Structure 1
Amino acid sequence: MTTGTWDDLVSAALLGTERRTPPAPPRAGQDTAGALLDAAALRTVQRRAALLPAPAAARPEAAPEDPRPPLPDAARRRLALLLADRAAPGGGRRGGAPDLTELLPQWLAAANRHGYRAPAALLPALLEAARARSDLRPDALALGGPRALWLARLNPQWKYALRGHAAGATAPAATGEAGGGREERVWQEGLFAERVAVLASVRHRDPSAAREMLAATWPKERAEDRLLLLDVLREECSPADEPFFEQALSDRSRNVRAVAAELLSTLPGSALSQRMAARARACVALDRTGEGGPRIVVEAPHECDSAMQRDGVVRKPPAGRGERSWWLTQLVEAAPLSLWCERFGVRSAEEAVALPVADGWQPDLHAAWCRAAVRQGDAEWSRVLLGAAASPPAPAGSSWLDPAKLLSALPAGERAVWVADFIGAHGLSEAFRLLGVCAVPWAEPLGRAVVDALDCARDAGGYPWSFSGVMGLAERCLDPEQADRLEALTVRPAAAESVPTTPGADYWTEAFERLIGTLRLRATMRAELAAAG
């Protein structure tokens, strides 16, 4: 007979019989390990014999209808291949074949643009793919629709889907509650991620209602939650939000105050913007008395008082930064850019930026203007501060060191042309981060510049793995129409057959062939989605 519980047997098995004596004594001539196995077998039979039939669980409700059109047959087969390749051991790129795992996000986005619904049989694989890759979740859940959410409620591993925006939008069909009633219940009782999703949904639909919803619970929220919830109001930000943001300037959390100040500074007519403008005006002026002509003079703040700190100015500078320059740049970047033309008596941002700055304050002043241009989305100032794409890259510490953020304030077409010119002047290595802020697919001038730069790198004797990051971006971002032009680069002229090839030529040929194959596959996928169902 065994003594002890099933848990005692499990503990002895996990720890080992040398460290934990089994609850069943061994028989004559039997070791302790054998006694443990015998006891486990006996206890297993006892447990099974004691089981009683349980009532059947309630059958789940039927899945909701999804009225969207089904995928065309070819597109449905393509999705099955993409999901199967992702799940296969070593899935993704195989030799020179396209990397299907990187094509899945593009395929999902394109399918959603057509308004299709996912096939019911592929919903489990789609939810599993989105569980493994958070970047797939918005598009995967959009394609899956209400049936994906219905299925996710039956599997705890897919509970991430219930915390997304789509869950808040479709759950009323399953619960029987009105949309507004459910949103209020989730806002009051839900998990934090669910509350964020509900707030974002309401903000998109009714900005004032979302603000009032947050204001009602604001005093009870934790500081870290207030920070994230306040950031949700960044979308659809308008002058109507100013009173609430002003109230948040008195928050106990410094981070919350900083976000509130940033949001207020995006409203050019806000009271905070005017306060910051007055402070910046007192620190920066134009001196016309010098012999060399007009120049900007700076007198940085000598202290950071409580009023400045309430308006979001951080008192302690980062390591290696002087206090006064730190306070100055925060004031300037929060002030409306429209202040400076009037302050300096000039007509445009170009004239203001061209003015010399006395006593070495130019890097700090221009860096603050850069951040202000990005924060306020001012294309004119961003364009001037970027300068000509062909100009030499600015030295470290200057305002032009990282133009990627300034580019984000420019229209997509102008952004692509600027980066194309930059690549032509400075090459791909300097432009890698800039490519990431350009609209996809890349506009024709940018795609042509990237292809030309890759061709030049091959002719110069470089190796393709030195440009693997650019190659990966090109596979996802080049317009598929560039495939024919790329194919011409893989064919050597007959007259060049006797000329020794450059180092790595065979590797370049393979890399171009893989890129061409990916572009043509993307074109095929696009055609499959556009076909009639």
Structure 2
Amino acid sequence: MSRTTAALDASLPDDWEELVTTAVLGTERRTPAGAGRGVEAAAALLDAAAAATVRRRAGLRPAPAAERPEPAPEDPRPALPAAAARRLAMLLADRPGAAGGGRRGTAPDLMELLPQWLAAANARGYAPPPAVLPALLDAARGRTDLRPAALRFAGPRALWLARLNPDWRFALRSAPGGGTSVTDGRDPDGTRRLWQEGLFAERVALLTALRSRDPAAARELLAGTWATERAEDRLMFLDSLRSGLGPDDEPFLERALADRSRNVRATAAELLSALPASALAGRMAVRAGACVAVDRTRETPALVVEAPHECDADMERDGVVAKAPAGRGERSWWFGQLAESAPLGTWSRRLGGRTPREIVALPVADDWRSELHAAWCRAAVRQRDPAWSRALLGPPSAPEAGGPGAVSLAERAKLLGTLDPAERAEWVAGFIETHGLSEAFQLLGVCAVPWAAPLGRAVVDALNIARDAGSYPWSFSGVMGLAERCLDPSEAGRLDALLAVPDEPEDASPGAGGYWSEAFQRLVTTLRLRAAMLAELSPPAP
């Protein structure tokens, strides 16, 4: 070390900020103490900075050692077969592209197959390879629709990882207690403590999980703190009672009808009206029945409607909203709420013992048909009544695509949801054969996956007809995307004849034939990939 450096080492404070300031200003404007001017000052500053750097690095006090995390819990489920593990890694490595069948090329959209793969793996009870857990959590973080299946498949080790990485904290919020077993009935104190002290999302998850296992215990937990909850929280908690709703819930819901929040009262009334034997349903039956009668003085019997002239305090207490939306008549608004809340069994007794199909077929006087049938649609969905749903849907081949009662595609889709999967698929297949695919997209979304054979054939035949007609191909991209995910993989062999580029009619969209060929090739490739996925997840025969 030079004499000048030694002097500076003794005279300069070991202040890094001071050294930086001197360097920024320059040694000509701010000469270090004990140093000459010019080159000597600059060299002295650099020597001091070097010495300070060494001291800073060597003089750090060691921090206390962090507590070593507990080992990750064991996952007792059987390991994935090797081929399935490789397939999962491939699916997770894919990046989302364009949605549905609107993309070009013949390569399958692997990210769209991940939900099906997870569902199949969960059904078979497999555990994931530990190495894929970070990618699986990243995928679930980016797609909320994946989270329930992904977290179920990931198992307890995912929660262990989530405590170490803030990016994966959603996994802790999705599991009551962050993965504790408070809902298995063995830790009532832990359940009560989490309910009283947990974050809102944790409490919702806890109540939902407990409701699915023990509806009475969940209801009692909610009743214990009901009076102290915020209105918006009471609404969310009350909504969880939809799962496992039964007659035992009626006393609690009746008390909720007196809640100070209008939204809470309306939700309580809706839940009570889904219980046909409840006292509220009985009161609504009396009110709605007084509004509808059969006029037998006409040549053909018809229904006549006399809507209520006022919304009294008792109606409001039972969930009837007095103020009508803009553009809606008050009387029709009140009547619709009464009719949708009355038990559907009321109408057969009230209207001469007629069946739902006979009641729906009756003409309705004075333009009340749409209002009455729309209310019955809502009631059929709420009460899960397949007989009324069939009557309101009508035959799928009816000339009017809306059916005798449904007023929109969305309502038809909800009505279909009350039917068993086989009947639902058969109805939608008949609808497609009569009305084509353009009206059916929303209805396809409520059909069970994989599609039943009649529905799959109807979709493929309709796509083939559209191709041969030279239709604008991108109009069917959404249906093609659904077919890739929902068509039974066994249908792949039937599609081989559709892979060639068809002859294009003169009025066809330019390039339509090539698009159709690509789309069908992608469909076949995807179906065969799905078949391979399922085979890889199936244990070998003994």
Q: TM-score range by the shorter chain?
A: 0.7 to 0.9
1:48-447 correspondence to structure 2 within 5 Å: 51-86=60-95, 95-165=105-175, 167-168=176-177, 170-172=179-181, 179-288=187-296, 290-393=297-400, 399-402=406-409, 403-447=412-456
Deviation at 1:467, TM superposition (A): 0.8
Cα distance 1:3–1:294, how it changes in 2: closer, same or farther (>3 A)?
A: farther
Deviation at 1:170, TM superposition (A): 4.0
Cα distance in 2, alignment partners of residues 454 and 215 from structure 1: 54
Cα distance 1:48–1:250, how it changes in 2: closer, same or farther (>3 A)?
A: farther
Cα distance 1:263–1:68, how it changes in 2: closer, same or farther (>3 A)?
A: same
Deviation at 1:354, TM superposition (A): 1.4
Cα distance 1:271–1:2, how it changes in 2: closer, same or farther (>3 A)?
A: farther
TM-score of the superposed pair, with normalisation by structure 2 = 0.86
Maintained 8 Å contact 2:120/2:534 = yes
Maintained 8 Å contact 2:108/2:525 = yes
Secondary structure of 2:304's aligned partner: strand
Maintained 8 Å contact 2:162/2:169 = yes
Identity value in percent:
63
Cα distance in 1, alignment partners of residues 220 and 504 from structure 2: 76
Deviation at 1:181, TM superposition (A): 2.7
Maintained 8 Å contact 2:428/2:455 = yes
Maintained 8 Å contact 2:284/2:342 = yes
Deviation at 1:424, TM superposition (A): 0.7
TM-score of the superposed pair, with normalisation by structure 1 = 0.87
Maintained 8 Å contact 2:104/2:519 = no
Maintained 8 Å contact 1:86/1:129 = no
Cα distance in 2, alignment partners of residues 454 and 156 from structure 1: 46
* The 10-residue stretch of structure 1 (393-402 or 215-224) with the greater mean CA deviation from structure 2: 393-402
Residue equivalent to 1:473: 482
Amino acid corresponding to residue 63 of structure 2 in structure 1 = A
Deviation at 1:365, TM superposition (A): 0.7
Can you list the C-alpha shifts for 1:1-60, whole angstroms capped at 9, x where unaligned? 999999xx9xxxxxxxxxxxx999733789xxxxxxx9x999998875664211111111
Match of 2:495 among 476, 486, 490: 486
Deviation at 1:462, TM superposition (A): 1.4
Maintained 8 Å contact 2:503/2:513 = no
Q: CA RMSD in A?
A: 3.2
Match of 2:529 among 497, 516, 521: 521
Can you list the C-alpha shifts for 1:141-200, whole angstroms capped at 9, x where unaligned? 1111111111111111111111224x5484249xxx953332222111111111111111
Can you list the C-alpha shifts for 1:441-477, whole angstroms capped at 9, x where unaligned? 1000000000000000001101322111111111100
Cα distance in 2, alignment partners of residues 358 and 5 from structure 1: 91
Secondary structure of 1:297's aligned partner: strand
Q: Gaps spanning 5+ residues in structure 1: where?
A: 10-21, 31-37
Cα distance in 2, alignment partners of residues 225 and 50 from structure 1: 54
Can you list the C-alpha shifts for 1:464-500, whole angstroms capped at 9, x where unaligned? 22111111111100000111111122247xxx98998
Amino acid corresponding to residue 529 of structure 1 in structure 2 = L
Maintained 8 Å contact 1:385/1:400 = no
Cα distance 1:394–1:472, how it changes in 2: closer, same or farther (>3 A)?
A: closer
1:7-86 correspondence to structure 2 within 5 Å: 26-27=25-26, 51-86=60-95
Maintained 8 Å contact 1:250/1:257 = yes
Cα distance in 2, alignment partners of residues 474 and 126 from structure 1: 25
Q: Gaps spanning 5+ residues in structure 2: where?
A: 1-11, 30-45
Can you list the C-alpha shifts for 1:209-229, whole angstroms capped at 9, x where unaligned? 100000001111111111111
Residue equivalent to 1:508: 516
Cα distance in 2, alignment partners of residues 90 and 470 from structure 1: 15
Cα distance 1:91–1:61, how it changes in 2: closer, same or farther (>3 A)?
A: farther
Cα distance 1:305–1:128, how it changes in 2: closer, same or farther (>3 A)?
A: same
Secondary structure of 1:428's aligned partner: coil
